Amino acid sequence: MGMRLLAKDPYVADLFKQASEALGFDLPALITDSTEEKLARTENAQPAIVASSAAGYLAWARQSDKEDLPQWFAGHSIGALSAAIACGLLPFGQGVRLARRRGELMGSTPGQGGMLAVSITTPEARERALEIASAHRLEVAAFNGPRQIVLSGPEDGLRQAVDTIGRRGTRLNVSHAFHSRMMQPAQEAWDQEIAATALDESVFAAGVRPYFGCCSAIFAEDCEGVREDLRMALTKPVRWDAVIQEASHCTSGYIFGDGRILARMWRDRPRHLRIAVINDSHEEVL
């Protein structure tokens, strides 16, 4: 998770040092020395994901020609904070600290819940999945494109939905029902965190709109638009389908970090759209 790049690039090492200072503990040690179970805990996974993906982009951008840099950024779920760092809205350390706080708040919510990815093959199958979700008190946590939606909610509802959906449903290895009303107990504290977070308004100078909200599904016009998208991310669905639609107007795009899951969401992209996954400075074109 970004460790090879950390070992060979002093710039990335300094970024992780900033993150560790903001967090109050050694982030590289957490990533490299933790058990798989400990690192998977949401309060640890979220800052690790943001740090590795944002550092990967910043290191790549330093070595790239200005005309090759992306014009806008979007992040899936916690990746929204990576996007905010990448487009200059958030300092690196502050963004990683905010990811840690987000994970702590989401992980502290009461109740047993989880998430279920559902494969979609036709518009009719999509409608049927939404009907099943409603019948079992589940919510859509993510519209990941034409092939998949993710449902979120209480354990009993998930079990009943799996019985109905069958092999098209895959339980996700998560601890809570993220992007659902079960996150509501954490909302007020998260709103306060976002309100207290300083964003760089100069990013929006001259009409530039570099941040596309993964929950708002629109370009933010100003810092308040970014804050609103970040606030929504606890209880509202990820609209990655809207990100894919907006990207269809582009000719190239990049995924930073471990892009195996995100890459699958781009299988139905237009033929003219080139997507590359960049992980630890290694580039692989889809």
DSSP string, 135-157: HTT-EEEEE-STTEEEEEEEHHH
Q: Phi, psi at residue 255, to the nearest 5°?
A: -115, 125
Please choose, from the candidates 98, 104, 120, 100, the residue with its C-alpha nearest in 3D space to the C-alpha of residue 168: 120
Q: Which amino acid is present at 251?
A: T
- Report the range of poorest mean pLDDT among 112-126, 186-200, 272-286: 272-286
Catalytic one among 136, 179, 180, 216? 179
Domain boundaries, the chain: 3-108+183-251, 113-175
> What's 113-175's CATH class?
alpha beta
Q: Is 77 a catalytic residue?
A: yes
Query: Model confidence at 262, in pLDDT bands (50, 70, 90)?
Result: confident
Could you tell me the CA-to-CA distances from 60 to 5, 240, 254 in Å, in that order? 10, 24, 11
User: What's the rounded mean pLDDT across residues 3-23?
Assistant: 89
Catalytic one among 77, 82, 180, 216? 77
Residue 281 confidence (pLDDT): 62
Query: Model confidence at 141, in pLDDT bands (50, 70, 90)?
Result: very high
The CATH fold of domain 3-108+183-251: Malonyl-Coenzyme A Acyl Carrier Protein; domain 2 (3.40.366)
Q: Which amino acid is present at 67?
A: E
Q: Tens of pLDDT along 207-216?
A: 899 999 999 9
**Do 3-108+183-251 and 113-175 come out as alike in CATH topology?**
no
Q: Is 179 a catalytic residue?
A: yes
